[in-house]
C-alpha cells in the first residue's frame, strides 16, 4: 500500500499547481475568421423598413485601427491565456463584412454602388477581452466608429457588444463563437445608425 499512497500524495501538488496556474498551460488562439451569428433578441424592436425604391445603403470602410494596449492578448480563461489573431486588419475586415447581412453594402477603399457622397466609415478596435468566473465565461468588445459624408461627421460613438456562455470546455471553438456573438451585437447597433444616416441624406 505504501507505493500507492506515495503516488497519490505526489499527484496532489501537481493537480493543485495546475489549478493555481503554476503549470504553464497551452494558450488558446482565435482565428481571423468571423462567423456571423444571429444576435438580435426576439423581442427587440425592428428597425424601420426603407422604401422599396430607396438606393442601397452603402458604407465604405476607409480606416481600420487597433488601439488596444496589448494587441496579442485577449484575456485568460480556465487558467489559459487567450491570444488574438495575428493579423488584426484581416480580423476586423471579416468582422465589418458582417454588416452585409444587416442591410449595409459594405466595402473597403472602393465604391461599388458608385454613390456620389458615400458614407466613409472609420473603425477603431478599443477592446476585445474574454474572462471566466466560476462556470461561465464572458466576451466583451468595443468598437469606435466615425461616419462622415464628405467633410461632415454624421455620427461618432462607441459600440459595445457582450456575450456570456457556460464554460463547457474552454475550447478554441467555444471562445471563437462567443467573441463572434459579441462582435455581432456591436454590428447590430452600427447597422441601425448607418441605415439612419443613409435615410437622412
* Structural domains in the chain plus CATH codes: 26-199 (3.40.50)
| Of the candidates 22, 1, 24, the residue with the CA atom closest to the CA atom of residue 12 | 22
CB 127 within 8 A of CB 142: yes
CA distance 86 to 72: 7
| pLDDT at 9 > cutoff 50 | no
Give the cell for residue 111: 465604391
Phi first, then psi, for residue 53 (nearest 5°) are -95, 10
Instruction: Dump pLDDT digits (tens) for 65-123.
Output: 999 999 999 998 888 899 999 999 999 999 999 999 999 999 997 777 677 788 999 99
**Checking DSSP bridges between strand 136-149 and strand 119-133, what pairing results, if any?**
antiparallel
Residue-level pLDDT at 135: 79
For strand 152-166 and strand 136-149, is the pairing parallel, antiparallel, or unpaired? Answer: antiparallel
- On the 0-12 / 13-18 / 19+ scale of CB atoms within 10 A, 126 is middle
Pseudo-torsion of CA 107, 111, 112, 118, nearest 10°? Answer: 90
User: pLDDT class for 49, splitting at 50, 70, 90?
Assistant: low
Nearest-angstrom CA–CA distance, 100 and 123: 16
Q: pLDDT for 166-184, tens place per residue?
A: 766 656 688 899 999 999 9
Q: How much of the chain, in percent, has pLDDT values that exceed 70?
A: 75
- Mean pLDDT (whole number) for 49-64: 77
Q: What is the pLDDT of residue 7?
A: 37
Distance between CA atoms of 103 and 191, rounded to whole angstroms? Answer: 7
And the C-alpha cell for 155?
A: 455620427
Grid cell at residue 120: 466613409
Which residue has cell 447590430? Answer: 188
- pLDDT of residue 8 exceeding 60, the answer is no
Amino acid at each position: 500500500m505504501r507505493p500507492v499512497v506515495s503516488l497519490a500524495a505526489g499527484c496532489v501538488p501537481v493537480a493543485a499547481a495546475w489549478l493555481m496556474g503554476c503549470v504553464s498551460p497551452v494558450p488558446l488562439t482565435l482565428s481571423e475568421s468571423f462567423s456571423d451569428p444571429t444576435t438580435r433578441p426576439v423581442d427587440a424592436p425592428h428597425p424601420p423598413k426603407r422604401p422599396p425604391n430607396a438606393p442601397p445603403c452603402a458604407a465604405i470602410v476607409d480606416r481600420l485601427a487597433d488601439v488596444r494596449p496589448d494587441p496579442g492578448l485577449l484575456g485568460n480563461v480556465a487558467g489559459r491565456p487567450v491570444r488574438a489573431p495575428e493579423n488584426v486588419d484581416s480580423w476586423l475586415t471579416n468582422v465589418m463584412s458582417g454588416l452585409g447581412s444587416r442591410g449595409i453594402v459594405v466595402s473597403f477603399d472602393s465604391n461599388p454602388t458608385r454613390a456620389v457622397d458615400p458614407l466613409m466609415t472609420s473603425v477603431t478596435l478599443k477592446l476585445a477581452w474574454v474572462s471566466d468566473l466560476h462556470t461561465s465565461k464572458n466576451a466583451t468588445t468595443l468598437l469606435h466608429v466615425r461616419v462622415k459624408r464628405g467633410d461632415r461627421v454624421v455620427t461618432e460613438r462607441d459600440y459595445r457588444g457582450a456575450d456570456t456562455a457556460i464554460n463547457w470546455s474552454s475550447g478554441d471553438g467555444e471562445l471563437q463563437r462567443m467573441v463572434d456573438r459579441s462582435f455581432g451585437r456591436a454590428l447590430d447597433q452600427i447597422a441601425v445608425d448607418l441605415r439612419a444616416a443613409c435615410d437622412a441624406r
